[in-house]
Structure 1
């Protein structure tokens, strides 16, 4: 029985080590936290590391936040309705005067309760360390990828992603006001990832190298067609947040 191809992981700075063979790949963003994030920081209001760690979770959750959905409709006498809805996440930043609050009091109370429970699970150094361990190990086993792709040459494709990420990152550093537009309308994974302010070293590609699958019984074209079909199916199963819309 033929062994399935092994899945190999490459961080974005090191995708030049990927094989120059056909295959599929998926991008993930790793959760990074260390002792400086979970260690006790005594302050006026107790352990200040709790709020800091919660903000770290908020930032990480923001990488996966779906884009707002544009809605439109027609009313009587030619009236047109158009608007936008966005995810109301319990991990979002605290409400401000400009931020709409949940109208349903029961749902709002439930969201507050969930957030308080999360805060309670971060209230000691050891509990924050355990949370960090869980989230670090959850990638990719428990997570949906940011992006799924197929390539005839994995190294070339991943290097192209890195190049577009770097260009977008450098551009947005000088034009931060364009971040929302690139986040919504960026033409490539690299652009959309940079617009979400993901650090390059936190991005990693998990690769299925199909180079050994090509033989006398399956041509390169057939292999490509099979890989493309698998990519299509995986997109519909996992709906990668930074995939093509």
Structure 2
């Protein structure tokens, strides 16, 4: 039998259940009050004189504050066929902001306020998980995640990138993408106290929800 799902903020991880279970990390995107007001003010000043500059500002703001945290790493691809040459290389995530979205924001910069407010409340209801896992003791496992994230935020450029499907790999990605830890949320759900229930649930959840920064 499982308990109800519980939400833990970054500062609250120490209070996670000391029980077996599954967990999921989420990131709540943030556009600060300062960035919001500065962007709206600059858009209103420049959109008539230089619309292309206003459009570039919208794209830059959305990319820096929202989209870059979720951009996929490159894929390594191989194309081959019978009696054909073999091609291999990397495929970059070609991410483009909708032109219609940019135009509407330039025309009405204040709509950024509504966008910011919805984004601020979007996790987890509208969000994909960053990482999902299981633990024989949730409190200890999540404390390990927190410690690794803090470590790689200090040192990630000085050490080789760990495997993506590990606790260290997840922490590395958080540091690499400069995701603010205080915007991370983790949800826990305890499970039966045996050695397979949480494993089975994690296996299923990873295959139907596709966490962005780590899949087992």
Quick check: TM above 0.5?
Answer: yes
- Is residue 204 of structure 2 the alignment partner of residue 233 of structure 1? yes
CA 1:35 to 1:125, structure 2 compared with 1: closer, same or farther past 3 Å? farther
- Is residue 14 of structure 2 the alignment partner of residue 16 of structure 1? yes
How far apart are the structure 2 equivalents of 1:6 and 1:57?
A: 35
How far apart are the structure 2 equivalents of 1:185 and 1:21?
A: 25
Give a deviation string over 1:130-178, Cα, whole Å, max 9, x none.
0012212221111110101111111100110011111111113x64xx6
Segments ≥4 residues shifted beyond 6 Å: 47-50, 75-78
How big is the alpha-carbon RMSD for the aligned residues of Structure 1 and Structure 2? 3.0
Give a deviation string over 1:81-117, Cα, whole Å, max 9, x none.
21111121103xxxxxxxxxxxxxxxxxxxxxx22x1
Partner-residue secondary structure (3-state), 1:244:
coil
CA 1:49 to 1:37, structure 2 compared with 1: closer, same or farther past 3 Å? farther
* TM-score, length of structure 1 as denominator length: 0.71
Within 5 Å, give how 1:152-163 maps onto structure 2: 152-163=136-147
How far apart are the structure 2 equivalents of 1:88 and 1:199?
A: 24
How far apart are the structure 1 equivalents of 2:177 and 2:119?
A: 19
Contact kept, 8 Å, 2:165 with 2:214, in 1: the verdict is no
Within 5 Å, give how 1:109-128 maps onto structure 2: 114-115=98-99, 117-123=100-106, 124-128=108-112
- Give the unaligned 5+ runs of structure 2: none
- Is residue 22 of structure 2 the alignment partner of residue 41 of structure 1? no
- Is residue 126 of structure 2 the alignment partner of residue 142 of structure 1? yes
Q: What is residue 58 of structure 1 aligned with on the other side?
A: 63
Q: What is residue 177 of structure 2 aligned with on the other side?
A: 196
How far apart are the structure 2 equivalents of 1:146 and 1:197?
A: 14
* TM-score, length of structure 2 as denominator length: 0.80
Shift of 1:58: 1.2
Which structure is larger by alpha-carbon Rg, 1 or 2?
A: 1
Partner-residue secondary structure (3-state), 2:121:
helix
- Total equivalences in the alignment: 205
Shift of 1:125: 4.8
Shift of 1:50: 7.5
Shift of 1:37: 2.8
